[in-house]
């Protein structure tokens, strides 16, 4: 298991909690399921440690739209890589609500989906590989394609915008 973020392997200093059960000491960073956040947010907001929310397919990112400034991290789970709902959730969080914290892909996260995830706003990838392999996979995946047709919030220039620029350059 290794988490790759911004081209490096990072330590996982977050604990993912279940729907119920005791909270760890107040300075520990925790990730809680959406329902638990909804039920316990008043007490969770007072913690010293960071709080993150875990979204699973079927959850509505809209439910945490008002709380985003309280959240340092949102984990989005892919129970199977074929369940693509998480891509939409990430885009809504980044592009609609302007979430600037970490969006971490967890679950069935494989090399060949990483570029798409990144394009949708994920910036951390929890892979089931050792650190070196995970980093190598993320790097290879990110380098495979350099042309993008769709505008997303990822900052990459699209083919359309580059064409536009080129035309403007020719004219001016």
Binding site for other proteins (CB under 8 A): 57, 81-85, 87-89, 91, 95-96, 110, 112-113, 115-117, 119-120, 144-152, 159-160, 162-164
Q: Which lies closer to other proteins via its Cβ, residue 75 or residue 90? A: 90
CB of 85 to other proteins, least distance (A): 6
Q: Give CA–CA dist 2/15, Å, rounded.
A: 14
CB of 29 to other proteins, least distance (A): 29
Provide the token pair at 108.
């069935």
Residues 6+ apart with CB under 8 A from 74: 52, 53, 54, 55, 64, 93, 99, 101, 102, 103, 104
Q: Which lies closer to other proteins via its Cβ, residue 44 or residue 114? A: 114
Q: Which lies closer to other proteins via its Cβ, residue 13 or residue 144? A: 144
Count of CB atoms situated within 10 Å of the CB of 71: 21
Count of CB atoms situated within 10 Å of the CB of 4: 26
CB of 90 to other proteins, least distance (A): 8
């Amino acid at each position: 298991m290794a988490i790759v973020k911004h081209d490096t392997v990072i330590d996982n200093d977050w604990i993912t909690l279940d729907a119920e059960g005791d909270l760890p000491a107040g300075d520990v960073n925790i990730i809680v399921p959406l329902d638990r956040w909804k039920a316990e947010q008043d007490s969770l907001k007072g913690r010293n440690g960071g709080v993150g929310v875990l979204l699973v397919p079927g959850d509505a990112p809209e439910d945490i739209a008002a709380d985003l400034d309280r959240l340092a991290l949102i984990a989005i789970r892919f129970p199977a890589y074929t369940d693509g709902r998480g891509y939409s959730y990430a885009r809504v969080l980044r592009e609609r609500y302007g979430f600037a914290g970490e969006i971490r892909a967890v679950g069935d996260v494989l090399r060949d989906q990483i570029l798409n995830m990144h394009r949708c706003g994920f910036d951390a990838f929890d892979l089931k590989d050792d650190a070196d392999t995970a980093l190598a996979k993320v790097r290879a995946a990110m380098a495979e394609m350099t042309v993008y047709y769709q505008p997303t919030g990822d900052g990459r220039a699209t083919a359309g915008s580059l064409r536009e620029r080129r035309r403007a350059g020719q004219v001016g």
